[in-house]
Each structure stands twice: as structure tokens, then as C-alpha cells.
Amino acid sequence: MKVESVDPNDQLLLDLHIKVLQKILLQEPFDQIKIHYQQNMNDLNYIEIIKNSGHLSFDDGNKLIGAYPISPSPTDYSVNLEGIGEGFSMCAVDALGIPYTFMRKTIIKTIDKSTGNDLELIIDPHSENQEILDIFVAYQNTPEDLQGSNSAAKVQCPTINFYSSKSDIPSNLQTWTYLQALEYAKKRFSRAEMLARIKKIIN
């Protein structure tokens, strides 16, 4: 069986990105993070590569507005990671993916978008027996050219929410079961997928 080798610089970029995400999760201002990791970021061309890989989004004023799956500002999706701390995700799917980015048990506190009722989800990425909840995730299709752009953060993310009842989901939105959303998030925000996206930009 052939094992694909990992370029040391690719791995260094991923390791740095995980450290940056953790600081963003804990609501440390991005300008301070850039100062803290300035040398490493410059040496690895970090911001340019990670931005082009779709993991960071900036507004027209170059302010960080998305660090997928982490939100640099408060949202309706509070996430508490065991051994790390509490912060916010960009949307419902991102919240489901965070446990697999950090490989930490995570408590997600949010609301049913339709009723406003509180929801609490617990995901342990090391468990093979996740609780499968009878809820749904709705989302708006976004053109491919918005993926990873600030338009995705502004336009698509606000539409990706949890609903307890399928009948409450607006007709203009697409629907996933909880399991479908979890499986997508697990793959999309895994470290392996992040590394693959980094490699694609570099190569």
C-alpha cells in the first residue's frame, strides 16, 4: 500500500493554522495573532496560501470575517472545546466540523432557527457512537465562485442553521438530515482535508 508523503512545509502551514484557529476561537484579535506569529507567517507565506485555500475570509477593508470553521466574532453558535475553551463557529455545519478540526469533545449551544428554542449538541470525535439527533440543517446553495470568498461568509453562512422540524424550513433552502450534515462537516473540516487544500494551492 502506497503512503502519500507530506511536504514538511505543508505540515508546518497546517500546524500554524491550527494554532491560529485556536487563538481566533478564544477571541484574540487577528492583528495580535499576526504579531505573535509574524516570523512564521512571513516565512511560510501563511496568509496568502491559507486565504487562497478558502480557510480565511476578509472583508473589503481587509478585516478578518471568517476563519472556517471558527468565527472571529460572536454568532448564534457557541462552541466549548474540552481542554481549549469557548468561542464561536460561523454556522451550523461549521459547528459540527469544529470537533474534527481540533479533535476535542465539543459542546455546541445554539437555537432552532425557526422557533428560537435552545439546542445543545455534544460531539466526541473519538467516539464511534455519536448520538444522531432528529434535527435538520438547512442551507442556501452558493455559486462555486463564492466558496471561500467574503461573499460566502456574508451570504451563505447566515443561511446555514439548525431546525427541529423539516416543515419549518423555508422553501428556498436545501435540507440535510443531521447525519448528512455531520458527515459532510467531519470531512470538510478535518485536518486531512485542510492539508489537501493547502497542498493544492502550493502545488
96-132 pLDDT, tens digit each? 999 999 999 999 999 999 999 999 999 999 998 888 8
How many beta carbons lie within 10 A of that of residue 73, not counting itself?
13
Distance, in Å, from the CA atom of 150 to the CA atom of 66, rounded to the nearest integer, reads 8
| Domain spans, the chain | 8-70+191-202, 78-188
Q: Which band of pLDDT confidence, cut at 50, 70 and 90, is reported for residue 149?
A: low
Contacts 24+ apart (CB under 8 A), 38-44: 40/12, 40/16, 41/16, 44/9, 44/12, 44/13, 44/16
Amino acid at 108: I
Read off the pTM.
0.90
Chain centre distance of CA 28: 17
**Mean pLDDT of the chain, nearest integer:** 90
Q: Which band of pLDDT confidence, cut at 50, 70 and 90, is reported for residue 169?
A: very high
Angle (CA) 146 76 78, round 5°? 105
Return the beta strands (E) in 59-153 as ranges.
Answer: 64-66, 78-81, 85-88, 106-111, 118-123, 136-139
In percent, the amount of the chain with pLDDT more than 70 equals: 92
Of 61, 62, 53, the C-alpha closest to 34 is: 62
Domain 78-188 class in CATH: alpha beta
The pLDDT assigned to 146 comes to 45
Q: Which band of pLDDT confidence, cut at 50, 70 and 90, is reported for residue 151?
A: low
Asked if residue 145 has pLDDT above 70, the reply is no
The pLDDT assigned to 144 comes to 47
Strand (E) or helix (H) holding 175: strand 174-177
Asked if residue 52 has pLDDT above 50, the reply is yes
Asked if residue 154 has pLDDT above 80, the reply is no
Say which residues have a Cβ less than 8 Å from residue 44's Cβ, sequence separation at least 6.
9, 12, 13, 16
